[in-house]
Amino acid sequence: MEQLKRMALFATVVDRGSMVGAAEVLGMTASAVSQQIRKLEESTQVSLLHRTTRKLTLTEAGASFYESCAQVLALAEQAEQRLAELRDAPVGELRIAAPVGLPGKLLSEALAPLLRAHPGLSLRLFFHDEMIDLIERRIDLAIRVGQQDDSSLVARHVADWRMLLCAAPAYLARCGPVEDPQQLLGLDWLSLSTDRWQQVTLYGPGGTQQRLRIDSRVACNNILSVRQFTLAGMGVSVQPEPEVREQLASGQLLALLPAWQPAPIGIHLVTPRRDAQPAKVRYAIEALRRSLLAP
């Protein structure tokens, strides 16, 4: 590092044409500048400057060395400019991890305007239901549901999503209307877990609760598969309302027992802990925050 500083000082001396001129630019004394040049020549074991009482001129080696110094300093300046761009403007590759069931429409509505406004920004999406290592996978930002306990990450709670009991009209036509939570015990359950037996807590009017121990007819660890079985009329499942909004609006799914629902789930935007977040992450957080909060 000291050698790089001396290279910069040497280039300044050449550019200014004298030790005194360089000292004025660098905020040093002329003798201090001269001392650093001597140390540079001692370390390289090459004479870089011809010194006379009137002027300084470059030796052949000094002229060659100056060209190299200029190139190094130009690269350093470019690197600083690039860092400033990454800090101040959303550029580069943005890597986002999200749950498998998160609708692509929600992400595109949030992030497409950001990509259009900033041509230097590109996007890589990774869909996982398991907790992946954000640092190892070089993930800039993750959308996660539920409680977040990892102290090495920064979790920003941005929304609470309603959870709905859902079934297809064809299934309800076979089993009949559901008017009481206890009727759920006799239905086919489709669960986001590989465990057969599940406990579901429903919250009703006036703070009342009912806990149901259910027998899952279909249990898997992928919410999209659970949703597809639900749409196929195979039973009842618990679904995040924003993820099935279109199916509810079209009538492909119906919400059961609107007065009795599971607890909402917290939605978090999670990032590795850093002293400062790049602009691309800050802009993405704001865009996703607005989208995830949308009614």
Q: What total of structural domains would you count in the chain? A: 3
Residue 38 lies in a domain: yes
Order of strands across the sheet that contains 265-272: 121-127, 92-98, 141-145, 265-272, 153-161
Among the residue ranges 32-41, 54-63, 82-91, 223-232, the one predicted with the least confidence is 82-91
| Same domain, yes or no: 195 and 178 | yes
Q: How many DSSP H helices and E strands does the chain contain?
A: 9, 13
Residues 154-199 have pLDDT tens digits of 999 999 999 999 999 999 999 999 999 999 999 999 998 766 668 8
Compute CA 195 distance to the chain's CA centroid, rounded to the nearest angstrom: 31
Q: Can you give the residue range of the structural domain that contains 45? A: 2-81
Average pLDDT over residues 140-157: 88
CB atoms within 10 A of CB 97: 20
Does residue 40 contact residue 83 with C-beta atoms inside 8 Å?
no
Residues 22-75 have pLDDT tens digits of 888 888 888 898 888 888 888 888 888 887 767 788 888 888 888 888 888 888
- Reply yes or no on whether the pLDDT at 220 is more than 80: yes
| Same domain, yes or no: 48 and 26 | yes
> Token pair of 248, please?
């509810």
pLDDT of amino acid 280? 93
| Same domain, yes or no: 100 and 246 | no
Task: List for the chain the helix, strand, coil content (%; round to 5).
Answer: 45, 25, 30
CB atoms within 10 A of CB 199: 9
pLDDT of amino acid 48? 87
State the alpha helices, DSSP H only, in 55-198: 60-88, 104-117, 169-175
Radius of gyration of the chain (CA): 32
Q: How confident is the model at residue 85 (pLDDT cuts 50, 70, 90)?
A: low
Residue 270 lies in a domain: no
Distance between CA atoms of residues 190 and 101, nearest Å: 15
pLDDT of amino acid 53? 66
